[in-house]
Chain A
């Protein structure tokens, strides 16, 4: 099975600064790399994802970068805002075109935005 590690477990940044969360995985067959955001009292929600044929993807203030050789991918949040405070999970998986059979999640990173 996939071994997934996320670092750091807690990250505190000043509002307006950037935040970077790293996810390391073990299965070289993984080809789909999503990041989920979980706000307090809610279920996780997909915020950005990337496939293995792409090295970087951006969506406004968030971006994901992938290094398949080193088997890690990172979430980058720029110009952080209070609403970015949440727990973030990575969930690398192998997409075979047949659909989802469940994800292996990292243990999560608690991002705290200090005013």
Chain B
């Protein structure tokens, strides 16, 4: 299994540009989520999905859109990039059963700079 993959690894955008961060998992996990990580702030939840066709907002959703058309993919869209969105973005997926609730499997991250 490749686990959770994210593309691209690095990206530089100009203010106002749009882009999509890709996330895919091959573990058949129902649950997927996006976090951003900023220095001294830990990881903050942007959006999450409990299954195909279902998404919900996390702690910091403004400026980001998501959709979940398949179990495998959970792209994150920035419609009009702002310097405040400069961050490292992590996608995560998880399963839930009686053995290990809430374990999140993280991708390697996308480092985004908005100038």
Interface residues of A (CB under 8 A from B): 1, 9, 32, 34, 36, 41-46, 49, 51, 89, 93, 95, 97-108
Who on chain A is nearest to B9 by CB? A41
Inter-chain CA distance A34–B106, complex, in Å, is 14
Instruction: Collect the chain B residues with CB atoms within 8 Å of residue A46's CB.
Output: 103-104
In the complex, the number of residue pairs spanning A and B with C-beta atoms less than 8 Å apart equals: 80
Instruction: Collect the chain A residues with CB atoms within 8 Å of residue B106's CB.
Output: 43-45
**30 A–B contacts, CB within 8 A, in A order:** A1-B59, A34-B103, A42-B108, A44-B90, A44-B104, A44-B106, A46-B103, A89-B43, A95-B102, A97-B96, A97-B101, A98-B96, A99-B30, A99-B95, A99-B101, A99-B102, A100-B31, A100-B48, A100-B94, A100-B102, A101-B50, A102-B33, A102-B35, A102-B58, A103-B104, A104-B45, A106-B42, A107-B40, A107-B41, A108-B42
How many of chain B's residues have a CB under 8 angstroms from any CB in A?
A: 30
Instruction: Collect the chain B residues with CB atoms within 8 Å of residue A105's CB.
Output: 35, 42-44
Q: Is B92 an interface residue (CB 8 A)?
A: yes
Who on chain B is nearest to A51 by CB? B101
Given contacts A43-B107, A49-B100, 6 further A-B contacts (CB under 8 A): A44-B106, A100-B101, A101-B56, A103-B104, A105-B35, A107-B40
Ordered nearest first, which 5 A-B pairs have the shortest CB separation?
Answer: A43-B106, A99-B96, A95-B101, A102-B45, A107-B42
